[in-house]
Amino acid sequence: MTSPNSFTAPDWLAALPTTPLGHWPTPLEPLHRLSAELGGPQIWVKRDDCSGLATGGNKTRKLEYLIADAQLQGADTIVSYGAVQSNHARQTAAACAKVGLDCHLLLSRRVDRSDQNYLHNGNMLFNRLLNAHVYTFDLDNFEDGRKNVMNTLEQQDKTIYEIPAGGSNAIGALGYSRCISELVWQAPFTPTQIVHASASSGTQAGLVFGNAALGYDIDIMGINVFHPEPDTLKQRISSLLATMQQRFGVVQSIEKLPIHINHAYFGGAYGQPTAAGLEAITMFASLEGILLDPVYSGKAAAGLIDQITLGNFDDHEHVVFIHTGGAASLSAYDSAW
């Protein structure tokens, strides 16, 4: 295989500014024991949980582009959003600590959990250690709370750069256009199937956009873990693809790009563990020594396992699971076990 340090992004991506934050390329590992257990194609895991920034995760790729844009605009303060146990918020706090930006995290209590471990441990503990300013609001009060925080920062003459939830805009999504290029470069096979957790739309939009821009023919299945209506996720991905096409222009048309969403593993609600997700976490841990989380990667892994068991990936010799991180929240969900 090529030297692990010689990957270079495609010219159109390499020309865009980034702030170095992560460890690249992240490993691509074969999961021999899990593959043997399931009896389907060879499973590989793209270890974006090893990307750096306070236990890593997929947002680090997005933040390299977003923090660079903030610095170019002369920002001294980052404001971003998420749920109480947001992995994105934790990585944003870490990125700000690394480059010396003031970080304000506005978090919503959107998950029906009130135990103290959920409210204060896991990512919430890390946010405090990373010196972020953390505000939590009920959904009904979120917009008023946001206005108050923004007004206070403006009165302090802060130069604010807002990062959307999940880092999911046209700039942040570039991180996963780069990821798919990195994956194809490092794989000792031709990738044909990717499975990953899909929530705020940026990861899947970036993968789909990069897949088209670089002329790959990879099926990308996003396991919906956030939206009660999967069409909402599909519409957000489509909208983001349209913005990327207009802004970066390397894809002639986005109208026919396939957006594959699987909603079967969502469960009762966002942030609520499922039995299949907990079983998938146990399988990955006991067979491969890899930790998943019950909100994102665990549900996506449940989808991967079930799709293989159903024979839906039998046409593929290899399947790649993108581990988007999240193990930092495991301690906040200890009661799920």
Could you read off the pLDDT of 202-247 as tens digits, one per residue?
999 999 999 999 999 999 999 999 999 999 999 999 999 999 999 9
How high is the pLDDT of residue 337? Answer: 83
Domain annotation covers residue 93: yes
- Whether residue 326 is contained in a domain is answered as yes
φ, ψ for residue 110 (rounded to 5)? -90, -10
**Residue type present at position 142:** F
Q: Over pLDDT 90: what percentage of the chain?
A: 97
Residue reference for tokens 């996506």: 300
Domain co-membership, 212 together with 320: yes
What CATH number is given to the structural domain containing 196?
3.40.50.1100
Same domain, yes or no, for 201 and 324? yes
| Boundary residue ending a domain (167, 186, 211) | 167
Same domain, 37 and 178: yes
Same domain, 46 and 67: no
Which residue from 114, 285, 44, 326 is spatially nearest to 199, judged by alpha carbons?
326
State how far the Cα of 305 lies from the Cα of 262, in Å rounded to an integer: 13
The DSSP 8-state label assigned to residue 165 in this structure reads G
Our count of domains for the chain comes to 2
Euclidean distance between CA atoms 67 and 26, whole angstroms: 20
**Mean per-residue pLDDT of the chain:** 96
pLDDT tier at 24, thresholds 50, 70, 90 = very high
| Full residue range of the structural domain in which residue 198 is found | 11-57+169-336
* Residue 1 within a domain: no
Q: Final residue of a domain: which of 167, 185, 213?
A: 167
Q: Are 192 and 160 in contact (CB under 8 A)?
A: no
Strands 160-163 and 77-83, bridge-based pairing:
parallel
Q: CA 118 to CA 114: how far, in whole Å?
A: 7
Domain boundary (167, 191, 219) is at 167
| Residue corresponding to tokens 């971003």 | 80
Asked whether residue 162 falls in the same domain as residue 244, the answer is: no
pLDDT value at residue 6? 79
Distance CA 59, CA 210 (A): 17
Contact 79, 52 (CB under 8 A): no
- Our answer to whether residue 181 is catalytic in this structure is no
Catalytic residue among 35, 86, 108, 198: 86
Whether 52 and 83 map to the same domain: the answer is no
Whether 189 and 246 share a structural domain = yes
Question: Residue 5: pLDDT band by 50, 70, 90 thresholds?
Answer: low
